[in-house]
Amino acid sequence: MIDYKLHIEEFLNYCKYHKNLSDKTIRFYRIDLDQYSALSDVLNRQSIWEYIEHLNRRYKPKTVKRKIATLKAFTHYLLIQDLIEYSPFDKIEITIKEPLLLPKTIPLDTIDRLYLYLYSQIELASTDYQKKCAVRNTAVLELLFATGARIAEICTLKKDDVDMIGGKIKFYGKGSKERIIPIENKSVIGILVRYCDLFQNEIADCGYFFVNKLRKRLTEQSVREMLQVSCTNCGISLHITPHMFRHSFATYLLEEDVDIRYIQQMLGHSSITTTQIYTHVASSKQKEILKTKHPRNKLHI
């Protein structure tokens, strides 16, 4: 039996340099494998069985599935490298049911209220610095809803990923999968052009498209904080996260009868099964429509 711990670093390097997985994924892989290593010195069916029981006692189903998936990926690597003869996951039946959590969307009137506030801050800015920050913040939040992109994808945009002339944004999603999203709204194009004009020197120095005051790339946490402050200042009580713009993008397109396969491509989902969660949201919308709009409700019988 091999000492599997000797091959963890090799596996992480394989994931980084051969599979081109993101630093975030590599970090989670390391955490998960370190956790398993702390619990067991062997990698066999019995130890995995006990590990799954341990996880189910401590974590939510989504986290358990991720940690098991990490261990599966590692054992698959050992298998293809001929370091083990068979997968210890063979004949282990794993069924982890996650509760169906419908994606949370932002009401359109709330988005409208937020954007009115953001644009007003540009006009009310009393210094060049305030104006630059206001334009950048507006551009970031406009792009979130216009493209349905993940916040990490927007924060890691490079200057060459944004084609202002063609009105296209190139995103690199999970697994570095590339997709191009056109920008067809004049207001969104306008604020991006204005941002580029104000930040052209910072963008050139940094290399990333969205830049902070230290002339480094804007971080995901900075966007979350900026969004929360903006919502508080304009009186929005709903807790809004950057990812809710992605959910809203998909849900509202689906409600406009856009084919789910197009939405899948725009979101960068590998499987349409992932995108189909939004059909559940659309179903709840149907209930509201029938309750409030059906002509039978106008009959007094």
User: Any catalytic annotation for residue 150?
Assistant: yes
User: Any catalytic annotation for residue 77?
Assistant: no
- Classified as helix, coil or strand, 187 is helix
| Contact assessment for residue 125 and residue 131, using Cβ atoms and an 8 Å cutoff | yes
DSSP state of 65: H
- Phi and psi at 124, nearest 5°, equal -85, -10
Side-chain-facing half-sphere of 300: CA atoms under 13 Å: 0
- Classified as helix, coil or strand, 59 is coil
Q: How far is CA 170 from CA 2, 24, 187, 204, in A?
A: 44, 20, 19, 18
Is the C-alpha dihedral spanning 93, 16, 40, 58 positive or negative?
negative
Q: From the candidates 4, 29, 36, 278, which is the catalytic residue?
A: 278
Residue 108, both tokens: 């359109």
CA angle 276, 277, 281 (to 5 degrees): 115
User: Distance between CA 172 and CA 24 in Å, rounded?
Assistant: 14
Q: From the candidates 66, 243, 280, 285, which is the catalytic residue?
A: 243
Q: From the candidates 269, 280, 285, 291, which is the catalytic residue?
A: 269
User: Any catalytic annotation for residue 269?
Assistant: yes
Look at residues 185, 189, 183 and name the one whose alpha carbon lies nearest to residue 170.
183
Q: From the candidates 7, 67, 132, 150, which is the catalytic residue?
A: 150
User: Any catalytic annotation for residue 243?
Assistant: yes
User: Distance between CA 110 and CA 246 in Å, rounded?
Assistant: 15
- Classified as helix, coil or strand, 240 is coil
Residue 161, both tokens: 């990923």
Q: Which residues lie across from 182 on neighbouring strands?
A: 168
Residue 98 CA, distance from chain mean position: 19
User: Hey, what amino acid is at 148?
Assistant: G
User: Any catalytic annotation for residue 179?
Assistant: no
Q: From the candidates 174, 179, 194, 285, which is the catalytic residue?
A: 174
Q: From the candidates 7, 67, 217, 246, which is the catalytic residue?
A: 246
Catalytic residues: 150, 174, 243, 246, 269, 278
